Structure 1
Amino acid sequence: MIHSVVDELGRTSPLAHRLVPWWSFTKTVLATLTMRLCDNDKLNLDSKLPKRPFTYRQLLQHTSGLNDYSFLPEYHQAVANSKPSWPVDTLMNKVKVDELRFEPGRGWCYSNLGYLLLRMEIERIYDMALPDITTAFLVKELNLKSAFLVEDLAAFNMLQVGPKGYDPNWCYHGLLAGNIEDAALFLHYLMRGELVSQNALNEMQTLYKLNVDVGERPWTTPAAGLGLMCNRDANLDTVGHTGMGPGSVIAVHHFKLQKPKTVAVFKQCQDQSVVENKAVILARAGS
């Protein structure tokens, strides 16, 4: 297990330079890019996507009604057998993208497919491919030099996690990787209000309360923001995202303490509770 903690002044310790997949923390970056488009009046959060019945807000908060390929047994079988990812059109047909689980805004269902649609909209509006967008944003603007979009088997194998034959394009919305201090720093910058306007940051933290069994995970009042998974109570007020893929998990969370901390924890295992509980321990240490 490796970790990195960023304090309220932006000081990072320890430095863990190993490159790791950020898995679904990528969604927080995509959400931030979306909110930047809103700040620049290039996108309206409550407008519907072209020819779709749901809004950008609903995609960001998983309330669109979309299904997800994680529910398909043949997806899990294909990943287990190291098969290449399906073309996007094939994916859309298999998931039945036009058959919603519920009316938009009338329920909650975690959907990677929703973030694929967001990625496609981001690329359309920016008129750039996501690798170029993330390089310009993360590496050049924010100086998070380790960050990159994993696009092929060779790049994923370089991370030395999970099965050797895993096709990273199964993460259809994109799979960012980098060291964990850069992941923690990204969330630190976001929560300090350095990446989007205060209004946009407030919108990202508008919560949809979840009625879910979290098991051994530390969250007592889990809720979904926009590209953020949150827990808001007097003893544990957090904002961030946990991600899991074949072979490893990562938790990146900001803790709203008297002296705020942003913590990233990575471990090669398949138990999200392990990294999340470790993040809570690290955040509370010395507080």
Structure 2
Amino acid sequence: MEKITSSSENMKKRKFTEGQDRPELQKAIEEIVDSGFLGVQLRVHDEKGEWVGSAGVSRLGEATKPPTNGHFRIGSNTKTFTATVVLQLVAEGRIGLDDSVVDYLPEFGLDRRITVRMLLQHTSGVFNFTGEYYEDGTVVPGITWQGQEWVENRFKTYRPEELVRLALSRPLRFDPGTDWSYSNTNYVLARLLIEKVTGCSLAEEMQRLILGPLGLLGTVVPDTQPEIPEPHAHAYYRYEDAGEQKTVDITSQNPSWISTGGDMISTTQDLHTFISALMGGKLLPAPLLAEMCKPYPKIGYGLGVFVQDVGPNGECTIITHNGGISGYAALMYSTPDGSKTLTASINYVDDVAMSLAVAFQKALQRLVNEVFGGGHAESADAADLASNQD
């Protein structure tokens, strides 16, 4: 692994490149706002240097733009952080990647065929506690995570064990290791695995292994904490109550309902520092980084990251994980060597109809095209906002 340089040191090195005129990037984020979103903050690091900008508004009814390095909920980007901690513990010899999870967490009675690798790659077959959507159109609900009922109970505390036991009360979706299906339960189990092996909270291990070494002062593992540090843009939820449309500020909520499926808070600067360091070999030994970026053939998902080929002829490979959670979307893209990154946050008015899902996918394609050289960025993680489960 390479020497870790703190984000403050990196900022000093880059300060002379900030604020470069990149009208195509500013236009791209303004078009996202025009398509129905409230605000966007974008950070790009490439061969032209660093560009940071924002568009739209930070909150409804006001004209102030989103802060260019504001805090936001990162949704399923949490999975990349969590997978990295698991792999760091593998590097320390404390976890075996192909060990049976039941040997570490016997209290849940997991199928012995489920390995640590399967949790990180979503090949365990374990039911998704936020609900399952089957190819024939069948929907099997899990916990309540949308609508008026969720809004009114958004400060409720769930414990990770509770979420896991709910999921394990349902049958496996498929035999472990035989297929792929995105399940937030896998990453709540990964959290419990980390805590069992280390005897420390996930937040403590995240601080020891990632946040501290990289100087990620804007990144938070909130557990049940409802507030987002200032500065931040606001997120909203719209629902119908007795025939009347209501819009509620849901910036403050207890994220324990999603747990390690998508509860973390960060900034575009910290996400850049993290994904650049990870892909640059500063957090994992080369063999484990290679395992992380080895995609499952069906979907192109490695261990906590999507691996995509973009461009007209698939000439550019990118490593990514995006997230959507209750009025926030988070974008995180990098080249495999960490030299070029795109990190962003979008704040918006969410609703049960997920009416901005198509606009979100178009926004992803436009931004990836601008930064990484063209082509369609069609990916399963683009559905994070559409499903809004993480």
Above 0.5 in TM-score? yes
Comparing 228-237 with 182-191, greater Cα deviation is found at 228-237
1:241 counterpart residue number: 321
- For 1:37, which of 86, 89, 96 is the aligned residue? 89
Change in Cα spacing, 1:126 to 1:92, as seen in structure 2 (3 Å) is closer
Alignment of 1:64-143 (within 5 A): 64-71=124-131, 72=141, 74-77=143-146, 78-83=149-154, 84-97=156-169, 99-143=171-215
- For residues 124 and 90 of structure 1, the distance between their equivalents in structure 2, rounded to whole angstroms, comes to 16
Structure 2: which amino acid aligns with 1:266?
Answer: S
Aligned partner letter, 1:41: G
Is 1:171 aligned to residue 258 of structure 2? yes
CA distance in 1, matches of 2:281, 2:326: 33
In the TM superposition, residue 73 of structure 1 has moved relative to its aligned partner by: 5.5
- In 2: Cα distance, 1:92 partner to 1:284 partner: 38
Change in Cα spacing, 1:39 to 1:115, as seen in structure 2 (3 Å) is same
Counterpart check, 1:161 vs 2:235: yes
Structure 1's consecutive aligned runs of 4 or more residues displaced over 4 angstroms after TM superposition are none
Alpha-carbon distance change, 192 to 245 in structure 1, aligned in 2, over 3 angstroms:
same
Quick check: 1:5–1:181 contact (8 Å CA) kept in 2? no
Q: What is residue 279 of structure 2 aligned with on the other side? A: 191
In structure 1, what is the Cα distance between the partners aligned to 2:129 and 2:184?
8
Q: Is the CA contact (8 Å cut-off) linking 2:126 and 2:186 kept in structure 1?
A: yes
Equivalent residue runs for 1:198-213 within 5 Å: 198-210=286-298
Q: Which of 226, 229, 232 pairs up with 2:306?
A: 229
Measured in 2, the distance between the counterparts of 1:196 and 1:256 equals 13
1:251 aligned partner = 331
* Stretches of structure 1 lacking an aligned partner (at least 5 in a row): 211-221
* Higher deviation after alignment, 223-232 or 174-183: 174-183
Cα deviation, residue 14, structure 1: 1.9
Deviation of 1:157 after TM superposition, in Å, equals 8.0
Deviation at 1:261, TM superposition (A): 1.0
Tell me the TM-score normalised to structure 1 length. Answer: 0.85
Could you tell which deviates more after superposition, 183-192 or 125-134? 125-134
**Mean Cα displacement is larger for which, 122-131 or 196-205?**
122-131
What SS does the aligned partner of 2:204 have? Answer: helix
Question: Residues 145 and 156 from structure 1, CA distance in 2 versus in 1: closer, same or farther, beyond 3 angstroms?
Answer: closer
C-alpha distance in 1 between matches for 2:198 and 2:45: 31
Q: For the residues of structure 1 that align with 2:301 and 2:46, how far apart are their CA atoms?
A: 24
Q: Is the 8 A contact 1:253 1:279 kept in 2?
A: no
Give identity over the alignment, percent: 23
Letter of the structure 1 residue corresponding to residue 258 of structure 2: C
Q: Identify the residue that residue 57 of structure 1 maps to in structure 2.
A: 117
Q: What is the identity, as a one-letter code, of the residue corresponding to 2:217?
A: K
Question: What is the aligned counterpart of 2:77 among 16, 19, 25?
Answer: 25
In the alignment, residue 261 of structure 1 is paired with which amino acid?
K
Please provide the CA RMSD for this pair: 2.7
Contact 2:164 2:188 in 1 (8 A): no
Contact 1:65 1:104 in 2 (8 A): yes
Q: Contact (CA 8 Å) 1:147, 1:178: kept in 2 or not?
A: yes
Which is worse superposed, 51-60 or 190-199?
51-60
Contact 1:39 1:197 in 2 (8 A): yes
- Alpha-carbon distance change, 281 to 109 in structure 1, aligned in 2, over 3 angstroms: same
Distance 2:214 2:256 in 1: 25
TM value normalised by structure 2: 0.64
Instruction: Output one character per residue of 1:180-221: Cα deviation in whole Å (capped at 9) or x when no partner.
Output: 1211220111111111000001000111123xxxxxxxxxxx
What's the secondary structure of 1:76's corresponding residue?
coil
Q: Is 1:113–1:172's contact at 8 Å kept on the other side of the alignment?
A: no
SS of the residue corresponding to residue 155 of structure 1 reads: coil
Q: Deviations over 1:221-242 (max 9, x none)?
A: x511000012136334111101
Q: Check conservation: 2:44, 2:52, Cα contact below 8 A.
A: yes
Letter paired with 2:235? V
Structure 2 CA distance for partners of 1:73 and 1:32, relative to 1, 3 Å: closer
**48, 51, 70: which one pairs with 1:13?**
51
Q: Equivalents in 1 of 2:235, 2:344: separation in Å?
A: 15
Matched, 1:283 2:376: no
Deviation for aligned residue 1:17? 1.6
Q: Which has more radius of gyration?
A: 2
**What is the CA–CA distance in structure 1 between the aligned matches of 2:94 and 2:123, rounded to whole Å?**
22
Count of aligned residue pairs for this structure pair? 273
When residues 279 and 42 of structure 1 are mapped into structure 2, their CA distance, relative to the original with a 3 A threshold, is farther
**What is the alpha-carbon distance in structure 2 between the residues aligned to residue 103 and residue 5 of structure 1?**
41
